[in-house]
Amino acid sequence: MTITALASAGVAWRRLGRVTGVAGLAAVVLIFVPIVVGTPPEPDFNAPATEFLTYYRSPHTPGAQFRSFIFTAGLITFVWFVVALTTLLRRAEGEAPWRSTIAMVSGVLLVAPVLSGNEVAAAFRADDLDPQIARYAFDEAQAAFANARVALGSFAVCCGWVIASTRFVPRWLGWLAIASGVGLALSRISWTSPVWLLPYLMFWLWVIIVSMLLLRRNFRGVAESG
């Protein structure tokens, strides 16, 4: 490979690294801001059916619709992060990059149940909604999110495995991803328990740290390794 080609490849990988970092940080902001700002507290699983109806009726405002849009944009931005990061990991993994491929598929799959739109539809028709249907819509959304956490766990474990074995970024970040991924997958066993919050927050901390490292990293060595 000529010096010019190496330089061009280095620029392309640095650009991809920055895109990955920006997408990761943007996804964190776009996903968590709508959750933290103005979102009503969720009812307990054992609450009366009327509380679920109240929950869906309360966010039916123009502000809530905008928060829903921001959250959806955050999920799509996270897909950008997933695809960009696993592309970098494929190069670091080398021949037969099956772990990074599984990570990419898992990361894309996890947003599918969350983007189903059932809760958005329930909130839109909340004025005409039966309380028992509101309870079912809530339970279905929570079950879908629990299934999505398994896919998120698979993504985290595979990414962490590649990082721990290649030192693409510091090895401890690989073990942090593996720990959070295992916790996310196991939380599906008791999907109504709040135990999932710990590995979930660990995962997003990992996303923030990896994204910041990628924004600062020089990828010349990665480009030359192919």
Residue where the block lists tokens 């709508």: 34
The answer to pTM > 0.85 is yes
pLDDT computed for residue 154 by the predictor: 97
* Residue 21 burial class via C-beta count within 10 angstroms: exposed 0-12, middle 13-18, buried 19 and up: buried
What distance in Å separates the CA atoms of residue 101 and residue 86, rounded to the nearest whole number?
Answer: 7
DSSP result, the chain: --HHHHHHHHHHHHHHHHHHHHHHHHHHHHHHHHHHSSPPPPPPTTS-HHHHHHHHHTT-SHHHHHHHHHHHHHHHHHHHHHHHHHHHHHHHH-SS-HHHHHHHHHHHHHHHHHTT-HHHHHHHTGGG--HHHHHHHHHHHHHHHHHHHHHHHHHHHHHHHHHHHH-SS-HHHHHHHHHHHHHHHHTTTTTTSGGGHHHHHHHHHHHHHHHHHHHH---HHHHHT-
What distance in Å separates the CA atoms of residue 52 and residue 49, rounded to the nearest whole number?
Answer: 5
In terms of phi and psi (left: phi > 0; alpha: psi -120 to 50; beta: otherwise), the region of 95 is beta
What distance in Å separates the CA atoms of residue 72 and residue 148, rounded to the nearest whole number?
Answer: 15
Q: What are the residues whose beta carbons fall under 8 Å from the beta carbon of 161, sequence distance 6 or more?
A: 99, 174, 178
**With contact defined as beta carbons under 8 Å apart, do 21 and 8 qualify?**
no
**Mean pLDDT (10-residue bins), the chain, 226 residues:** 54 90 97 81 83 75 76 93 96 92 93 68 66 82 89 97 93 97 95 92 97 81 40
pLDDT computed for residue 62 by the predictor: 60
C-alpha 143 chain-centroid distance: 17
What distance in Å separates the CA atoms of residue 202 and residue 196, rounded to the nearest whole number?
Answer: 10
